[in-house]
Amino acid sequence: MASILHLYGFHISQMSPSGMVRVRHFEFLCRSQGMEPTVEKFRAFYQLIRNMGFYSFGNRGAAKKILIGLPKSFHDWKMKLFFIREEVIPIAMMFREPDKIEKEELIIPKGSDSYINLLVTPNRIFGEKVLVAAHMSHK
Protein backbone atom coordinates (compact mmCIF):
# COMPACT_ATOMS: atom_id res chain seq x y z
CA MET A 1 0.00 0.00 0.00
CA ALA A 2 2.76 2.42 0.96
CA SER A 3 4.58 1.80 -2.32
CA ILE A 4 1.44 2.53 -4.34
CA LEU A 5 0.73 5.72 -2.38
CA HIS A 6 4.32 6.81 -2.89
CA LEU A 7 4.42 6.06 -6.63
CA TYR A 8 1.18 7.84 -7.45
CA GLY A 9 1.72 10.62 -4.91
CA PHE A 10 -1.57 10.78 -3.06
CA HIS A 11 -2.69 10.52 0.55
CA ILE A 12 -4.49 7.40 1.78
CA SER A 13 -7.51 9.58 2.61
CA GLN A 14 -7.77 10.40 -1.12
CA MET A 15 -8.24 6.72 -2.08
CA SER A 16 -11.74 5.44 -2.68
CA PRO A 17 -12.98 2.33 -0.87
CA SER A 18 -13.08 0.41 -4.17
CA GLY A 19 -9.44 1.36 -4.80
CA MET A 20 -8.54 0.01 -1.37
CA VAL A 21 -10.40 -3.23 -2.12
CA ARG A 22 -8.44 -3.68 -5.35
CA VAL A 23 -5.08 -3.11 -3.64
CA ARG A 24 -5.84 -5.47 -0.73
CA HIS A 25 -7.29 -8.13 -3.05
CA PHE A 26 -4.16 -7.97 -5.21
CA GLU A 27 -1.94 -8.28 -2.14
CA PHE A 28 -3.92 -11.27 -0.90
CA LEU A 29 -3.70 -13.01 -4.30
CA CYS A 30 0.05 -12.50 -4.49
CA ARG A 31 0.68 -13.73 -0.96
CA SER A 32 -1.56 -16.76 -1.46
CA GLN A 33 0.66 -17.70 -4.45
CA GLY A 34 3.87 -17.17 -2.46
CA MET A 35 4.72 -14.03 -4.45
CA GLU A 36 5.79 -10.70 -3.05
CA PRO A 37 3.25 -8.06 -4.11
CA THR A 38 4.99 -5.22 -5.91
CA VAL A 39 3.85 -2.02 -7.58
CA GLU A 40 5.20 -3.29 -10.90
CA LYS A 41 3.03 -6.41 -10.70
CA PHE A 42 0.03 -4.35 -9.57
CA ARG A 43 0.44 -1.99 -12.54
CA ALA A 44 0.23 -4.96 -14.93
CA PHE A 45 -3.45 -5.27 -13.96
CA TYR A 46 -4.53 -1.78 -12.86
CA GLN A 47 -4.13 1.87 -13.76
CA LEU A 48 -4.82 5.00 -11.74
CA ILE A 49 -8.21 6.64 -12.24
CA ARG A 50 -10.07 9.46 -10.49
CA ASN A 51 -13.77 9.18 -9.76
CA MET A 52 -15.90 11.67 -7.84
CA GLY A 53 -12.85 13.38 -6.36
CA PHE A 54 -11.17 10.20 -5.11
CA TYR A 55 -8.36 8.15 -6.61
CA SER A 56 -8.93 4.52 -7.43
CA PHE A 57 -7.69 1.87 -9.81
CA GLY A 58 -9.40 0.62 -12.94
CA ASN A 59 -8.63 -2.41 -15.02
CA ARG A 60 -5.76 -1.85 -17.42
CA GLY A 61 -7.07 -2.15 -20.98
CA ALA A 62 -6.26 -5.63 -22.32
CA ALA A 63 -5.02 -6.99 -18.98
CA LYS A 64 -6.94 -9.90 -17.53
CA LYS A 65 -9.31 -9.09 -14.73
CA ILE A 66 -8.36 -10.61 -11.39
CA LEU A 67 -11.22 -9.28 -9.26
CA ILE A 68 -14.90 -10.02 -9.62
CA GLY A 69 -17.71 -9.15 -7.25
CA LEU A 70 -16.56 -5.68 -6.26
CA PRO A 71 -19.26 -4.11 -4.07
CA LYS A 72 -21.45 -1.65 -5.97
CA SER A 73 -21.57 0.65 -2.96
CA PHE A 74 -20.31 0.83 0.60
CA HIS A 75 -23.35 1.27 2.81
CA ASP A 76 -22.87 2.55 6.33
CA TRP A 77 -19.26 3.55 5.64
CA LYS A 78 -19.53 6.39 8.14
CA MET A 79 -19.99 3.83 10.92
CA LYS A 80 -16.66 2.26 9.94
CA LEU A 81 -14.66 5.48 9.53
CA PHE A 82 -11.52 5.72 11.63
CA PHE A 83 -8.41 7.85 11.71
CA ILE A 84 -4.90 6.56 11.06
CA ARG A 85 -2.04 8.15 12.95
CA GLU A 86 0.62 9.53 10.67
CA GLU A 87 3.43 7.41 12.16
CA VAL A 88 1.63 4.14 11.30
CA ILE A 89 2.32 4.54 7.57
CA PRO A 90 6.08 4.44 6.88
CA ILE A 91 6.09 7.07 4.12
CA ALA A 92 5.45 10.78 3.91
CA MET A 93 2.06 11.08 2.23
CA MET A 94 1.26 14.15 0.20
CA PHE A 95 -2.14 15.41 -0.86
CA ARG A 96 -2.33 15.22 -4.63
CA GLU A 97 -3.97 18.04 -6.47
CA PRO A 98 -6.86 16.95 -8.71
CA ASP A 99 -5.05 16.94 -12.01
CA LYS A 100 -5.66 15.15 -15.25
CA ILE A 101 -4.44 11.58 -15.08
CA GLU A 102 -2.42 10.50 -18.07
CA LYS A 103 -3.12 7.04 -19.39
CA GLU A 104 -0.17 4.78 -18.66
CA GLU A 105 1.06 2.88 -21.67
CA LEU A 106 2.72 -0.20 -20.21
CA ILE A 107 3.48 -3.54 -21.77
CA ILE A 108 1.34 -6.21 -20.14
CA PRO A 109 3.66 -9.10 -19.15
CA LYS A 110 1.27 -11.85 -20.24
CA GLY A 111 4.04 -14.48 -20.26
CA SER A 112 5.41 -13.84 -16.76
CA ASP A 113 4.68 -16.28 -13.94
CA SER A 114 3.30 -13.52 -11.72
CA TYR A 115 0.79 -12.58 -14.43
CA ILE A 116 -0.21 -16.15 -15.28
CA ASN A 117 -0.53 -17.37 -11.68
CA LEU A 118 -2.94 -14.68 -10.48
CA LEU A 119 -6.35 -16.04 -11.35
CA VAL A 120 -9.73 -14.36 -11.41
CA THR A 121 -11.19 -14.52 -7.91
CA PRO A 122 -14.19 -12.92 -6.24
CA ASN A 123 -13.97 -10.25 -3.58
CA ARG A 124 -14.48 -11.87 -0.17
CA ILE A 125 -14.21 -10.86 3.45
CA PHE A 126 -11.78 -13.15 5.25
CA GLY A 127 -11.43 -13.82 8.94
CA GLU A 128 -8.40 -12.80 10.95
CA LYS A 129 -6.77 -16.27 10.81
CA VAL A 130 -6.76 -16.23 7.00
CA LEU A 131 -5.20 -12.76 6.97
CA VAL A 132 -2.49 -13.88 9.41
CA ALA A 133 -1.75 -16.90 7.21
CA ALA A 134 -1.42 -14.58 4.20
CA HIS A 135 0.98 -12.32 6.20
CA MET A 136 -1.48 -9.44 6.00
CA SER A 137 -2.11 -9.21 9.72
CA HIS A 138 0.10 -9.62 12.78
CA LYS A 139 -2.51 -10.68 15.35
Domain boundaries along the sequence of the chain: 2-133
Calpha distance 31→86 (Å, rounded):
26
Given this model, what pLDDT does residue 58 score? Answer: 92
pLDDT tens for each residue of the chain, 139 residues long: 889 988 888 888 899 888 999 999 999 999 988 999 999 999 999 999 998 888 999 999 889 999 988 877 777 776 777 777 777 777 777 778 777 787 777 888 999 988 998 988 888 877 788 878 877 777 6
Given this model, what pLDDT does residue 36 score? Answer: 93
Given this model, what pLDDT does residue 49 score? Answer: 92
Given this model, what pLDDT does residue 99 score? Answer: 75
Rounded to two decimals, the pTM is 0.79
How far lies 54's CA from each of 1, 78, 80, 114, 119, in Å? 16, 16, 18, 29, 27
